[in-house]
Amino acid sequence: MEVDSEAALAAVNIARAEKLAHTQILDTLSWVDLMRITRGIPALSYLIWATVAVIGCGGSEPAGPSFEVSFESMARSAQAVRVEVYLVDSCEDVTLGTRPVPAVASAYVRRDKTGALGEVDPGNYGLYGVAQDADCAVVAAGCAPVTIAGAEDTVAVTLTGLQSEGCPIDLDCSLDTGECIDGAGGTGGAGGDPLVRVDAGLILLYAFDEGSGSTVVDQSGVAPTLDLTIADPGNVTWAADHLTINSGTTLSTAGAATNVLTRAQANGELTVEAWVKPASSAQTGPARIVSMSLDPNVRNFMLAQEANTYAARFRAVGQTGWTNGNPTIFTTSGTATTLLTHVIHTHKSDGSEVLYIDGVQDRTFTRTGALTQWDPTYPIVVANEATNDRSWLGELHLIAVYDRALEAGEVQQNFAAGP
């Protein structure tokens, strides 16, 4: 990841700024910024911040203890493009997801997860971090008690997942300030570096954001759309941005997904993508996440969970057990957890396949054989087989299918964009 070499800001209260104003450092550079805290960090409306940008000779890093930020989830780590770190008197003084005022010291970094806090007195503190995505939405936060004995110390904090709303559609996110600004220029400099999902070749998209009802809408824009019907609405719970499968049910199209077959056969390629949060790492069967199939024994493709791994099948003529998409390929043991995870399976026309976890290649495989024997009568089935005997439980945040194999950079782009 590229590090923003100019981005180390030490935010302090007004009294501390006035004290520092008499030092030689501030003779080099000082400024006070009025930050408008918008929807990206909820629970605060307007705050005045005194900020001091410290630039040493030759562009050296600020003196003082350094910090390291880690994330409980790889998904949140990849979403975080801006991380603010604060040294506070105590973790009891902060509310996760908001900026603390006052702070003993602070810094921000873009994409990188390390930096320096500047000069601070030895003592016991709280190290608080809050991370935003490219739309200024808070995606993670955390605070840890730390002890600083000297300038050579390194302190650490782990951030856990949060989710706030990002900038309104008519505003951009400034990665310099973490503010939502007018896209025409606004108040914070360049806004943007927006992360958007790949749409070239998209043929199915379920965002699970309907919020209620028994239908999941295909949002791909490809006609005819292939909406899903939830067989047992009482077995699921809706949230604003996902659907939780609490007990076994089937989500399926009303008929055959013929256009998926037609597009896949035309290119000889396919990508199946899912953002999921399993209810447990003990589900087996494999437990179906999404499949184009008739029953447990015949299919065109499948993405599923087998205990603490993810599994993929893909029908290619000539393979042993090809009518069921065998052989099954699995991700590394331990990759299927109860955390929100991004899973992608790609199949290229030359037979090469890749399974990705959270934007990173995890497993490769070569599966030779044509797609000529795909069955045009199979529906799309989610969270189960049509026979209701391979149920998967957990949160469904997104499922997408492309009529081509996404490249590694495109996989990383979709991962960074989030569900």
Q: Show the tokens assigned to 248.
A: 């076994």
Distance CA 71, CA 77 (A): 6
Residue whose C-alpha is closest to residue 234's, from 217, 210, 212: 212
Identify the pLDDT of residue 43: 33
| Chain centre distance of CA 256 | 31
The residues of the chain scoring below 50 in pLDDT are 1-61, 184-194
pTM (two decimals):
0.58
Helices vs strands, H then E, count in the chain = 5, 28
The predicted structure's pLDDT at residue 350: 94
| Tens digit of each residue's pLDDT (9 = 90 or more) over 134-156 | 888 888 899 999 999 988 889 99
Which SS3 state, helix, strand or coil, does residue 232 take?
coil
9-182 CATH pick, 2.60.40.1120, 1.10.260.40, 3.40.50.300, 1.10.10.60 = 2.60.40.1120
Residue 204, strand partner residues: 401
Q: Domain 202-417 carries which CATH code? A: 2.60.120.200
- The kind and range of the H/E element at 128 are strand 123-132
User: CB of 76 within 8 A of CB of 159?
Assistant: yes
Per-residue pLDDT, 384: 96
Helix (H, G, I), strand (E, B) or coil at 77: helix
Amino acid at 279: A
The model's pLDDT over 337-347, given as tens digits with 9 standing for 90+, comes to 999 999 999 99
Domain borders along the chain are 9-182, 202-417
Sequence letter at residue 372: T
pLDDT at residue 31, as a whole number: 26
Q: Report d(CA 219, CA 405) in Å as an integer.
A: 20
What span, in angstroms and rounded, lies between the C-alpha atoms of 235 and 297?
25
**Three-class DSSP category at 47:** strand
**Which amino acid, 347?**
H
